[in-house]
Amino acid sequence: MEHAQVLIAGGGIGGLSAAVWCQRLGLSCLLVEKTDRLGGQLAQIRNEIVDFPPRVYPRGAELLEEMLLHPALGALSPRLEEAVLSIDPLSQIVTTTKAVYQADYLIIATGVSPNVIPVLEGCPRVLSTEFSTTVQAASVTGQDIAVIGGGDRALESASNLSQFARRVDLLVRSSTLRARSEWAERLAELPNLRVFWGTEIASFEPQKEKIALKLRPLHVGQPSEIVVDWILPRIGVHGNSGDFPSLATFGDGYLKTDEFQRTGYGWIYALGDVSNGASYASLSLAVGQAMKAVKHISLQIHHS
């Protein structure tokens, strides 16, 4: 069994920042990342990043490239394609897909994953949740698209797609939008957009190159059907906390922490999106929380 002073789960900006702070404060750390690359959601950010001062980055890829030049990360040797599978909160044993660790401290920075729509499982015309309407909308020129969701990302996607698509159908489960009012106002001006309120997908049926979606009203009204070329689900995310059932959560799988990012167990910290909830998900918060968590760990070690 390998010993880790600080084991970091997740190689997104939160986990990477924690690694930088470990080096800064003289702690040894070991970072495991489930996929074959570092950066987490940074790879999906195709919009300009204007809220991570002092620089403006054209996309997440440029931010990541710059971040990986940091000397502390150059010396890190992250363990890629290794995922934390379980933790034993009492014995402080962490089991991953490749090893078992005895950890003094664990930092969970596992981020979030998109929610999926079970009824669409196996549907061949569902766009990936990583589909970027900022840069890929032109690929659906002249086609009919159903966007599912009522939050900011759904409305932003519908708005971007409407510039190229023949028609955009927005399917919203509730009778109101969760998105900011500026998005709702923008949608009202789009001539090729229809909104289906209080509606969910009951089933799908492939029709040559298209898909027929049977729609079920959640409150009043008759079932209906639309035929589209593509479906883009934008129904939010959940915290990647499923591997840690002993830790308390709030909302959609987000890990509860105290003001030092500590979970209910003194040796386990959580930071970044997995601990923040969708409304507060941001690069700057994840980075700041990494400082706080690692500084707190360092103070614990020095006090003992």
Q: Which residues bind ligand FAD (CB under 6 A)?
A: 9-15, 32-35, 40-42, 44-45, 47, 49, 51-52, 83-84, 109-112, 240, 243, 272-273, 281-284, 286
Give the shortest CB-216-to-ligand FAD separation in angstroms. 29
Between 86 and 102, CB nearer to ligand FAD = 86
Between 41 and 261, CB nearer to ligand FAD = 41
Give the shortest CB-122-to-ligand FAD separation in angstroms. 24
Between 40 and 199, CB nearer to ligand FAD = 40
Between 158 and 281, CB nearer to ligand FAD = 281
Between 213 and 286, CB nearer to ligand FAD = 286
Distance between terminal CA atoms of the chain?
Answer: 24
Q: Tell me the angle at which helices 13-24 and 60-67 cross, rounded to the nearest 10 degrees.
A: 20
Give the shortest CB-48-to-ligand FAD separation in angstroms. 8
Residue pointed to by tokens 């909308």: 137
CA distance 184 to 28: 49
CB 180: neighbour CB atoms within 10 A?
13
Between 41 and 257, CB nearer to ligand FAD = 41
CA distance 214 to 208: 16
Asked if omega into 54 is within 30° of 0 (cis), the reply is: yes
Give the shortest CB-222-to-ligand FAD separation in angstroms. 36
Between 42 and 171, CB nearer to ligand FAD = 42
Give the shortest CB-91-to-ligand FAD separation in angstroms. 19
In angstroms, the Cα distances linking 256 to 247, 263, 264 are 8, 6, 8
Give the shortest CB-206-to-ligand FAD separation in angstroms. 29
- Identify whether the C-beta of residue 17 lies closer than 8 Å to the C-beta of residue 291: yes
Q: Which two tokens stand for residue 234?
A: 């934008």
Give the shortest CB-248-to-ligand FAD separation in angstroms. 18
- Identify whether the C-beta of residue 196 lies closer than 8 Å to the C-beta of residue 146: no
CB 99: neighbour CB atoms within 10 A?
14
Q: Which two tokens stand for residue 202?
A: 């009951």
CA distance 48 to 67: 16
Question: Cα-atom radius of gyration of the chain, to the nearest Å?
Answer: 22
